[in-house]
Amino acid sequence: MQPTYDQTDPTSPAGSIPHWIDPVREADLVARRRTVHRTPETGWAEFIATARAAEFFTSLGFKVMVGREFIDPIYVRGRSDTEVSESERLAKAAGVSPVLLQRMGGLTGLCATFDTGRPGKTLAFRVELDALKMDEPADPDHIPYKEGFASERPGLMHACGHDGHQAVAFELGRFIVANRDRLTGRIRFIFQPGEEGSRGAYPIVQSGLLDDVDTLLCAHIATDLQAGTVVAAPEKFLCTTKIDLHFEGMQAHAGMQPQLGRNALLAAADAALILMALPRHSDGMTRVNVGTLHAGEGRNVIAAHADMEVEVRGENEAINRELAREAVTRAQGCAMAFGVKMSHKIMGEAVDFVPDDGIVQMITVCARRARYVREVRPSVPLNGSDDATLMIRRVQSQGGRAGYFLVGAGLEASHEHAAVDFDERYLVTLYDIFANLVIGLSGNW
């Protein structure tokens, strides 16, 4: 789809400002979101999504880097070789350029930078690529199923709004190019793999992409917020650590020589109970969850292997760090009690952050100008985690500023699929806020 820049949507707040052009229509955002929704991919295996973004932003004149061109694999967490291999196969079958796949080198993610050629600051946007491991509901009341854009990948779907975020980023790219003569400095889109599980931000931080960023903007479509509500600075981002535990015991025949075995399954099961009994903390809220436990080799065999996925969360970094340390210590104790070995890997993490007041004020002003906004709230408790916080902390540590806001797009609570469906009209709300922030932060508003 080739963009045209000679017309402005008369309803657009950005396009109503003298000398600014807004070529984006609401229908463009919806159509692009639906295209993305059809091909969900899991974290660190988003080859189709990376290629789609690379081709689009290259066509707009952005400088594009993909995969290994900026991500060092030594910092990558939670990447499944099996999932990557299958997703690469599907990407080839879908017609993704072999040259692009070779450039990626088995790693997804994209950085697209537009240099205006005029002195100025660097503005960056974080965009998530991955989907969730869940089946798309085959139900006439589910919007993607009803409208014919449901997931083409069994066991995967965009259920967290990342498809909408990508659509907004694409159209924002068109807005930037349409107004290139009015902008200064550099504008960068960072398409992050593996946001689910807090896996993707850490290697991007280590890549150095953020070290010259003056302002980083992050946002999220929120299905649990009433449609038309914008939260300028949500609070209570929980710090989190995602931990994989591996228990290694010794096989033995359960009937003939049970005394020779060392039961990794029982050690892991004991650890699961002990971990869920971790004490809460007087300094703030905590969360602990044992998400998966896979163990054993057969009905009549003492289990020699067990693998467990665990997460802890704390209201601040100190609480979270203490929980993570205690979780590993307790798991190690359970392993010792059953005579097995235990090892662990950190698979993901996120922290908390303090938003910059100046950016929060800008978000508030821009949100009030956006279409379909009914209410702008200064804050609400998020009580969840997002590894964008690692990126925000990095920018702030280098003297930059950052902001994170929510755009409510929830459906009626009575809707059976309200947790995974969102009102697509509010893609234009997210787009309007970003477009107005581009104008405001360019110094030309």
Q: One digit per residue, pLDDT tens: the chain, 445 residues?
A: 344 444 567 789 999 999 999 999 999 999 999 999 999 999 999 999 999 999 999 999 999 999 999 999 999 999 999 999 999 999 999 999 999 999 999 999 999 999 999 999 999 999 999 999 999 999 999 999 999 999 999 999 999 999 999 999 999 999 999 999 999 999 999 999 999 999 999 999 999 999 999 999 999 999 999 999 999 999 999 999 999 999 999 999 999 999 999 999 999 999 999 999 999 899 999 999 999 999 999 999 999 999 999 999 999 999 999 999 999 999 999 999 999 999 999 999 999 999 999 999 999 999 999 999 999 999 999 999 999 999 999 999 999 999 999 999 999 766 777 788 999 999 999 999 999 999 999 865 5
Distance CA 215, CA 232 (A): 15
| Domain boundaries defined on the chain | 20-237+351-442, 239-350
Q: Across-strand partners of 247?
A: 306, 342
CATH of domain 239-350: 3.30.70.360
Same fold, 20-237+351-442 and 239-350: no
What distances in angstroms separate CA 259 from CA 250, 254, 270, 333, 341, one per listed residue?
A: 10, 8, 19, 21, 17
Distance (Å, rounded) from C-alpha 313 to C-alpha 241? 7
pTM of the model: 0.93
pLDDT of residue 442: 84
Q: Is 9 helix (H, G, I), strand (E, B) or coil?
A: coil
Residue pointed to by tokens 């960072």: 190
- Three-class SS state of 245: strand
> What's residue 3's pLDDT?
41
Give the number of other CB atoms < 10 A from CB of residue 125.
23
Q: Decide: 424 and 33 in contact? Cβ < 8 Å.
A: yes
Binding-site residue positions: 160, 162, 196, 220
- Is the CATH code 3.40.630.10 the one for domain 20-237+351-442? yes
Angle between helix axes 317-337 and 264-276 (nearest 10 degrees) is: 150
Q: How far apart are CA 312 and CA 349, in angstroms?
A: 10
Q: For residue 241, which of 342, 305, 316, 295 has the smallest C-alpha distance?
A: 316
Entry field: residues in the chain = 445
Annotated binding site for Mn(2+): 160, 162, 196, 220
Q: How many CB atoms lie within 10 A of CB 256?
A: 8
